[in-house]
Amino acid sequence: MSKVKKVMTWSAFPSLLLFLIFLGVNGAVTGGLSLSFFESFIATNAAAICVAIGVTATILVAGTDISLGSIVSLVNVVIVTLCEKGYSVPAAVMIALGCAILCGMINGFIIGVMRVNPLLTTFATSTVFAGIALWILPYPGGAIDFSFADWYGSHLFGILPMPIVMILILVIVWIIVMKLPAGLHLYALGKDVKKSYASGINVTALRFFVHTFAGLAAGIAGICISANTCAGSPSIGASMSMNSIAAAVIGGVSLNGGIGNIWGGIFGAAFLSILISIVVSANFSSFVQSFIQGLILLAGVVISIIASDKTLKAKIKRVFKGGVK
């Protein structure tokens, strides 16, 4: 009983439930759930999930990062350009990943050490990163060797699909961090900066770390999206920043910090992705789709914020308790 209750009150539970329900709906619409559908779904949306993981980490410490989409674009452009220049795919991927981490470290430096507002900082750096991507590759084009796509479609040890492995890398890194004392410190920092400082927590280092981690997440997202498309586009990640924030909010991560976990980001992103794929498969014209997607984002964020409103929750609780008596 208490275990059931624990799961029900888990902050990521509503988004998990929503994801499963709409996965079912999608199955009903397209005629049954198949493993192959699930695999292609994950392959397409692993990038969005990775970015959501990254942004969730920054939101947990009461920050945010809207430059991740630009980092994804940059990674894609770097991989394509290096491949065209004759680099091997693994080398290109590793260099691109390094760029992404560097971008995250730049964010972390300006936010943690220079103490500039995370929102404005990442807003400015997002134009910088997007600018670099556009500078390197002004027009969509270029191709990556299809061995990259084959690798992405392969299974680790014959069972684990590569996109899942990519997500798992981030999850494992994050779980390790959560097991360190820093994990507790992260949540404390998200709740109150001043109290954290008074409790001897290294605020600067933690902020630097989460943005670097977010950079890593965007880097892996960039690898996923590049492997999935095998083509280059300087604006491929443009819409991802905002969608990932919406995903985190839907996943029960509080924009005020300190509440939620990366599973919320993962399931929030998965839910948004499945919803979008339903909208796509529901035979709406493509013009309606982007409008509906915008509305879904808006509704999701607004509903999540209203739902996490404490005074409202208390009101509902009181009504509920009154009913029991």
Partner 1 sequence: MEKVKKLNNPYLPAIIGSIILMILGQILSTGFLSMNNISSILMTTSILTLASVGQAAVIISGDSGLDMSIGAIMSMTALFGPMIAVGSGAASFALMIPATILMGAIVGLLNGIGVQVLKVVPLVMTLIMSNVVNGFSILVTKGQPSVTVSPQLKSISKTLIGPLRILPAVIIILLVLLEVFFLRKSRYGRRLFLAGNNRNAANLCGINSRLVIILAYIFGGAVAGLAGLMLVGYAGTAQMNMANSYTMLSIAAVVIGGTKLTGGKGTFVGGALGSLVLILITNILQALNMAAGLRSLIQGVILLAILMVNSRAPRMRQ
Partner 2 sequence: MGLAFRDISKRYGAVVAIKQAQMEIEEGEVRAILGGNGSGKSTLAKIIGGLISRDGGEILFQGQRVDFKSPKDAKRNHVIMTSQELSLFGNLTVEENICISNIPVKGKFTDRKRLRKKAQDVLERMRLDSLMGKKVEELAANQQYMVELAKALVQEPKILIIDEITSALYREDVEIVDDIIRGLKKEGCIVLFISHRMVELYAMCDSVTIMRNGETLGTYPMKEKTEDELLSLMVGTKIESYHGEGRHHQCAERDVFIRAPRIPIPTYGTLESLDIGKGEIIGVAGLQGHGQTDLIRALYGVLGEIELEIDGKVRKIRNAKQAVSEGFAFISGDREKDGTFQERSLSENIAAVQELVKRGKIGNPRGILDSFHVHYDNPGELITSLSGGNQQKVVVGRWLCTRPRLLLADDPTKGIDVKARTDLHQLFAELAREGNAVIMLSSDDDELVSITSMVETSRVIVMYEGRVSAILEGDAINRQNISAASMPVNSIHDAEVKNRKEGVTV
C-alpha span between 236 and 168 (Å, rounded): 23
Q: What is the DSSP letter of 252?
A: T
Query: Among 298, 307, 314, 316, which residue sits at the site for partner 1 (rule: CB under 8 A)?
Result: 298
Question: Is residue 199 close enough to count as binding partner 1 by CB under 8 A?
Answer: no
Angle at which helix 146-153 crosses helix 203-229, to 10 degrees, equals 110
Report the residue count for the chain. Answer: 325
Q: Which residues are at the interface with partner 2 (CB under 8 A)?
A: 179-181, 183-185, 187-188, 190-192, 195-196, 198-201, 258-259
Q: Which of 128, 165, 169, 171 binds partner 1 (CB under 8 A)?
A: 128
CB 56, CB 251: distance < 8 Å: yes
Q: Among 102, 116, 178, 259, indicate the residue that binds partner 1 (CB under 8 A).
A: 116
- The nearest distance, CB 301 to partner 2, in angstroms, is 21
Query: Does the footprint of partner 1 cover residue 66 (CB under 8 A)?
Result: yes
Smallest separation (angstroms) from partner 1 to the CB of 63: 12
Residue 142 DSSP SS3:
strand
Should residue 81 be labelled a site residue for partner 1 when binding is judged by CB under 8 A? no
- Round to whole Å and give the CA distance between 69 and 238: 5
Q: How many CB atoms lie within 10 A of CB 91?
A: 13
Closest listed residue to residue 64, CA positions, set 248, 293, 259: 248
Partner from partner 1, partner 2, none binding residue 181, C-beta < 5-8 Å depending on class: partner 2
Range 129-157 burial, b when 16+ CB lie within 10 A, else e: bbebbbebbeeeebebeeebbeebeeeee
Closest C-alpha to 220, from 166, 171, 154: 166
Figure out which of the listed residues 90, 131, 140, 141 binds partner 1, where binding follows CB under 8 A.
131
The one-character DSSP state at 160 is E
Residue 195, binding choice from partner 1, partner 2, none, Cβ under 5 to 8 Å by partner class: partner 2
CB of 282 to partner 1, least distance (A): 15
Options 34-42, 129-137, 169-177, 223-231: segment touching partner 1 (CB under 8 A) = 129-137
Q: Which of 7, 29, 288, 316 binds partner 1 (CB under 8 A)?
A: 288
Does 245 bind partner 1 (CB under 8 A)? Our answer is yes
Contacting residues toward partner 1, per CB under 8 A: 64, 66, 110, 114-117, 119-121, 123-136, 138, 193-194, 197, 203, 234, 239, 242, 245-246, 249, 255, 285-295, 297-298, 301-302, 305-306, 309
